[in-house]
C-alpha cells in the first residue's frame, strides 16, 4: 500500500549517537551498543571485582536491580531504561507491546510501564509482574512469557531488541486496559502509516488465542474498508431496531466550493446528515471524543452528526440516542 513506512527497516538507536573511534576498546564498543548498561557478568569480563566495587563506591557507576550496572551516575535515559528492562529479564527477552511500538515510531504516550516478552523456557525475575528498581529510577517493567516468538517477529537491526510493529500492535491490544484503548493503538499505527494492515492480520492468523483478537480484526477491517459501504455497517438495521426513519444513503451534494460530496446518510425532510468516518486520526480517542462533543453542539443548529465506524456496532444505543435527538430537532415526530 503506497505511503506506508516499512516496519522492518527499523533504525538502530545507536545510529543517533556517534560511534567510538576504530581503535576504541571492546568495553567502549559495548558501552556504545548497550548505552552504558551492563550485566555483572559483562562488567567482570573487563575488570576485576575490586575495580567494579570501586567504581560503584566512588559514585562513578550506578547499580540497578538484578545485577545490572550503568556506567555513569546520572539519571537513566529512556534507552537505558529499556536496556535495563531487556537485560534484567534474561536471555531472549525483547521489548514488546506498546513499548516496542513506540520504539518503532508510533506517536503515542507509553504510560509508565515497560513491556517485555520473554521466551517461556526462560525464567524472568518476576514473570508477569511489575517490578521496580530500588537504586536507579525506572518505570515499572512487566515481563510476559510466551511460547510463540518466531525469528520473523524480532528484527535483527533493532537495538535494544524488540518485536516488529505488527507483533507489537497485536500484543499491545492484548495488554491494553480496555477494548477502546486496543482499537486506538491499532488505529493510530494505521493512520501514521507505520504498518500494512495485512501484516497485522498475518500475525493475528497465527495467534488464534490472542486476547482481543476480534477487536484487532474489526479495527483493521474498518481501517482498510472505511465507511465506503454503509450496507456493511448496517445503518438501516440500526435505524429499524431503534424506530428511526430510514435515511437516503450516499447522497450527492456540492459544498460551498463547488466540490462534489457524498453524504453517508441524509434525512432530507428533517435536514439531518450523519457521517460515518472510517479513517483514523493520529490520536483516535481524542478524535472520537471530539465527535461526540461536536454532535452535542451541532444539534440545535446545523444538524450534522459524525461517528467512527466501529461505534455503530459497539455503541449503537448511544448513536441512536443522538440521531433521535437530531431528528426531533429537525421536525421529526416519532
SS (H, E, C) 116-169: EEEECCCCCCCCCCEECCCCCCCCEEEEEEECCCCHHHCCCCCCCCECCHHHHH
**207 band by pLDDT with thresholds 50, 70 and 90:** very high
Closest CA to 155 of 147, 146, 164, 145: 164
pLDDT in tens, 154-188: 988 888 999 999 999 999 999 999 988 898 888 88
* 31/25 Cα distance (integer angstroms): 10
Q: How far is CA 204 from CA 167, 191, 220, 241, 263, in A?
A: 8, 19, 11, 33, 34
Answer with the residue of higher pLDDT: 141 or 234. 141
CATH 3.40.960 applies to domain 230-329: yes
Look at residue 149 and tell me whether its pLDDT is greater than 80.
yes
232 phi/psi in degrees, rounded to 5? -70, -40
* 256/273 Cα distance (integer angstroms): 16
Domain boundaries, the chain: 13-164, 230-329
Look at residue 87 and tell me whether its pLDDT is greater than 70.
yes
* Strands 62-64 vs 68-70: parallel, antiparallel or unpaired: antiparallel
Total Cβ atoms within 10 A of residue 286: 11
Look at residue 255 and tell me whether its pLDDT is greater than 70.
no
Query: For position 54, what pLDDT does the model report?
Result: 94
38 phi/psi in degrees, rounded to 5? -135, 150
Lowest mean pLDDT among 84-98, 132-146, 167-181, 218-232: 218-232
**Global pTM exceeds 0.75:** no
Amino acid at each position: 500500500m503506497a505511503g506506508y513506512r516499512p516496519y522492518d527497516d527499523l533504525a538502530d538507536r545507536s545510529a543517533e549517537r556517534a560511534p567510538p573511534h576504530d581503535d576504541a576498546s571492546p568495553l567502549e564498543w559495548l558501552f556504545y551498543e548497550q548505552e552504558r548498561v551492563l550485566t555483572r557478568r559483562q562488567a567482570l569480563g573487563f575488570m576485576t571485582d575490586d575495580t567494579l566495587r570501586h567504581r560503584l563506591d566512588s559514585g562513578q557507576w550506578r547499580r540497578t536491580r538484578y545485577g545490572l550496572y550503568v556506567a555513569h551516575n546520572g539519571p537513566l535515559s529512556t534507552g537505558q531504561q529499556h536496556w535495563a528492562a531487556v537485560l534484567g529479564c534474561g536471555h531472549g527477552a525483547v521489548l514488546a507491546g506498546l513499548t516496542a511500538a513506540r520504539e518503532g515510531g508510533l506517536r503515542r504516550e507509553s504510560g509508565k510501564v515497560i513491556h517485555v516478552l520473554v521466551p517461556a523456557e526462560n525464567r524472568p525475575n518476576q514473570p508477569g509482574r511489575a517490578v521496580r528498581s530500588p537504586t536507579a529510577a525506572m518505570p515499572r517493567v512487566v515481563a510476559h512469557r510466551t511460547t510463540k516468538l518466531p525469528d520473523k517477529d524480532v528484527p535483527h537491526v533493532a537495538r535494544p531488541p524488540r518485536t516488529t510493529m505488527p507483533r507489537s500492535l497485536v500484543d499491545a491490544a492484548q495488554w491494553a486496559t480496555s477494548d477502546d484503548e486496543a482499537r486506538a493503538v491499532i488505529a493510530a499505527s494505521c493512520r501514521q502509516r507505520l504498518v500494512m494492515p495485512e501484516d497485522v492480520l498475518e500475525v493475528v492468523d497465527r495467534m488464534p488465542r490472542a486476547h482481543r483478537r476480534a477487536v484487532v480484526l474489526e479495527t483493521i477491517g474498518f481501517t482498510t474498508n472505511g465507511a465506503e459501504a454503509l450496507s456493511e455497517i448496517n445503518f438501516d438495521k440500526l435505524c429499524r431496531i431503534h424506530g428511526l426513519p430510514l435515511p437516503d444513503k450516499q447522497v450527492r451534494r456540492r459544498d460551498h466550493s463547488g466540490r462534489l460530496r457524498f453524504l453517508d446518510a441524509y434525512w432530507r425532510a428533517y435536514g439531518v446528515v450523519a457521517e460515518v468516518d472510517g479513517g483514523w486520526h493520529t490520536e483516535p480517542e481524542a478524535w472520537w471524543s471530539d465527535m461526540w462533543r461536536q454532535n452535542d453542539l451541532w444539534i440545535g443548529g446545523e444538524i450534522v452528526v459524525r461517528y467512527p465506524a466501529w461505534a455503530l456496532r459497539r455503541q449503537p444505543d448511544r448513536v441512536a440516542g443522538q440521531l433521535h435527538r437530531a431528528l426531533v430537532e429537525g421536525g421529526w415526530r416519532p
